[in-house]
Structure 1
């Protein structure tokens, strides 16, 4: 990372630097709020977005501009935490803040001066002199050591570095068009006519990508169920499952139903689509989305676990099953940068055991010649390829169907090989994995 040097030319360059610093510089009050919030967030006991929402509720006097600055600063620090800690030599809120505004936001020492306490100018100068080029790969990629070691088993150093740096960038806002209500081109034209910069997603035929972060949840197209917020990678899992009209389909870990709604639209609201989940709270979030969508073929089902007696009665009854398995979420670090510090090798070990159980249970729902898609938003091989390979070794009645062939049959020009493996560095999506499995006839 390089710093912009002060120009020796007169007038305008210095004026532009001062103006730039003033635009970036938070107020002392905003800085104080960030420091208080960081002290909570850096304990990593709860998700950062939960803590942020709670903090804003308990500080109702904060204006929209204040909330924006505070949120962007907190998440910016989380995205670059390993680097900032390396440069500042501390994980305390105040040094991290100064390192963030100096080394990430590019503020000069002169521009930071109004915010500095006694002795802090020397700290900032030391940060300016430091370089991360010789730092360990984990620091440059801004990932925990144990994550980098797992990635080294399948990726080279340059790929890990590119992945880590892509994860440090905020995610774009992807939308899925509900094709029961409108075409992608019609929605794109309507959004563009309202001044929103929007482009078709390169791979998903029902996706749109917005520039910036407009409050789309209040847009008439959203409230009418014409669009939903959904990452393009998540959309592609529906096209791997490729359900058709009149089939019986299960979304085995439905959660709040983003993929359920996509599957229902691909089925043209025909057939029967079961949305299973162990959380009543998550399924409750599906119901208003379902009402907006216009779908009439979705049946939310609360289950106790993958051994629920109701599932046993459905053995061999389904044409297609989606298993969007609970996972570490390490593919979503652009959106949830604190996850890399809240997950541990032990928590991943617990997840992989659960993933194997869920995949085995879900597979029993399939008819002969039925299709199952196993998916995660993880970048770790033990949650992805290893789960699938172990399952196939124990279930010879299943075979792997190359994901690139499934997508090609639907005219989706994306080839990542036998598995769908998406990376923010290559595809501008979340880190995503999916495998297509079919039961022999």
Structure 2
């Protein structure tokens, strides 16, 4: 059940920041925003002034308390500072997120005086393409000499650092990931997770085609290309604001990571079927499933949050779907769930999870999550999967998915379920995708990783109930 998650974002709504989810909700696709602040090999195409640097330091101080999701903290900050322009907000958001991505390395570099301002300056110099000459006019007395020394120290890199420090990950998370990955693989995985994510769109095939959307985007000066795997996916260059674009307003596109789109292909709903999106949230995958069903049959969107489901309604209206039925439930054992037992053709369980596969968009999660949080989530995931399975009719399909990269939230939950539910068997996820023309090396259970597939980290297992 998506207990406390925001799974889909509005498009291009200020503040332009990634969605950093709470500990039990799926982080969402990043909103379009101003030019990305984290680049390599060049300065940032964004204005930087003493005012903006000061505002970034204030925002970062709030973020480093790790009391709330980062997007909520920045949203509040930007509401308080309405004089900031769109590019300034984008710069502050991206630079603060860059600090969160590289927090361990930056804190090591600026010790013993670890302040938000110093973290920002070190980040701009080391990770964001700024040179000392560009920063000179913003520096306080003594800061230029400090940055010169820091630059020299940075050149020695991190020879005496632990693996976790080199990866810019918490110790506990590095230990968990080391059980599956070699050190070389971990380095590549961490590098992928510590990059800023691209912006992916999903085309609503009820209304248009991918080629037509690409043509219209190009006509309005937006550079884009087809995603490599999803037949509905488009990847944008940069982060243009789309909230007033006709394609968005007319329901032709939605923001959705390519990996998330592939969950629809794994469930593969058909015309006229009864389908349940068990953890629907604001309905990004619900809309995809409804379009795959060609707006026929009956598609239930379950969630425990009426606020999240309220966000689904205008999206359904834009999409042109007529088969979506949002249902707010109390929990996974709600009577409105139980009455559908054994009647549903296909059930998607996009479970609440740590969200650690979305660190490209939500770098604060690696500092806010703990091993204890994950253990609590695993128990919840087991309960939700068992409850959702009761809905599946004989011969029906059940897909369990997370945006986590931890085995205990993924295969561990599925193995636990199968040990107690002999009526279900695993299907080959890669083969199911290949049958639809989606050729991707993802394994028996689908495992997607940013450095391998260019998506967020995703896991999905396809289960079938025996006839």
TM-score range, shorter chain: over 0.9
Counterpart CA distance in 2 for 1:266 and 1:284 is: 22
**Contact 1:423–1:432 (Cα < 8 Å) also in 2:** yes
- Match for residue 345 of structure 2? 319
Instruction: Determine whether 1:83 maps to 2:94.
Output: no
- Match for residue 421 of structure 1? 447
Q: Which has the higher contact order (CA 8 A, sep 6+)?
A: 2
Q: 2:176 aligns with which of 150, 153, 173?
A: 150
- Match for residue 70 of structure 1? 92
**Contact 1:78–1:337 (Cα < 8 Å) also in 2:** yes
- Match for residue 59 of structure 1? 81
Counterpart CA distance in 2 for 1:107 and 1:177 is: 37
Counterpart CA distance in 2 for 1:430 and 1:180 is: 26
Q: 2:63 aligns with which of 35, 38, 41?
A: 41
- Match for residue 242 of structure 1? 268
Q: 2:401 aligns with which of 358, 372, 375?
A: 375
Instruction: Determine whether 1:120 maps to 2:143.
Output: yes
What is the correspondence of 1:71-220 to structure 2 with a 5 Å cutoff? 71-89=93-111, 91-130=114-153, 131-134=156-159, 135-220=161-246
- Match for residue 50 of structure 2? 28
Task: Give 3-state SS (helix, strand or coil) of 1:218's partner.
Answer: coil
Counterpart CA distance in 1 for 2:289 and 2:43 is: 48
What is the correspondence of 1:224-303 to structure 2 with a 5 Å cutoff? 224-303=250-329
**Contact 1:142–1:165 (Cα < 8 Å) also in 2:** no
| Structure 1 residue 21, shift from structure 2 partner | 6.5
The 10-residue stretch of structure 1 (230-239 or 184-193) with the greater mean CA deviation from structure 2: 184-193
**Contact 1:141–1:162 (Cα < 8 Å) also in 2:** no
More helix by share: 1
From the CA coordinates, give the structure whose radius of gyration is larger: 1
CA deviations over 1:389-419 (Å, ceiling 9, x no partner): 1111111111110101111111111121101
CA deviations over 1:270-317 (Å, ceiling 9, x no partner): 111000000011100100000101001110000000111121111101
The count of corresponding residues between Structure 1 and Structure 2 is 422
| Structure 1 residue 166, shift from structure 2 partner | 1.2
| Structure 1 residue 25, shift from structure 2 partner | 7.4
Task: Give 3-state SS (helix, strand or coil) of 1:296's partner.
Answer: coil
| Structure 1 residue 139, shift from structure 2 partner | 2.0
Task: Give 3-state SS (helix, strand or coil) of 2:460's partner.
Answer: strand
Q: 2:374 aligns with which of 339, 348, 365?
A: 348
| Structure 1 residue 125, shift from structure 2 partner | 2.9
Unaligned runs of 5+ residues in structure 2 are 1-41
Alpha carbons of structure 1 residues 23 and 312: separation in structure 2 relative to 1, 3 Å: closer
Counterpart CA distance in 2 for 1:225 and 1:111 is: 43
Counterpart CA distance in 2 for 1:110 and 1:348 is: 45
Counterpart CA distance in 2 for 1:304 and 1:347 is: 22
**Contact 2:132–2:144 (Cα < 8 Å) also in 1:** yes
Unaligned runs of 5+ residues in structure 1 are 1-19
The 10-residue stretch of structure 1 (306-315 or 131-140) with the greater mean CA deviation from structure 2: 131-140
CA deviations over 1:72-94 (Å, ceiling 9, x no partner): 21112112112211221254202
Instruction: Determine whether 1:410 maps to 2:430.
Output: no
Task: Give 3-state SS (helix, strand or coil) of 1:213's partner.
Answer: coil
**Contact 1:24–1:107 (Cα < 8 Å) also in 2:** no
- Match for residue 33 of structure 2? none
| Structure 1 residue 23, shift from structure 2 partner | 6.7
Over the residues paired in the alignment, what is the CA RMSD in angstroms?
1.5
Task: Give 3-state SS (helix, strand or coil) of 2:461's partner.
Answer: strand
**Contact 2:447–2:459 (Cα < 8 Å) also in 1:** yes
**Contact 2:47–2:87 (Cα < 8 Å) also in 1:** no
CA deviations over 1:328-386 (Å, ceiling 9, x no partner): 11111111111111111111111111000000000000001110000001111111111
Instruction: Determine whether 1:222 maps to 2:248.
Output: yes
**Contact 2:251–2:318 (Cα < 8 Å) also in 1:** yes
- Match for residue 363 of structure 1? 389
TM-score (norm: length of structure 2): 0.88
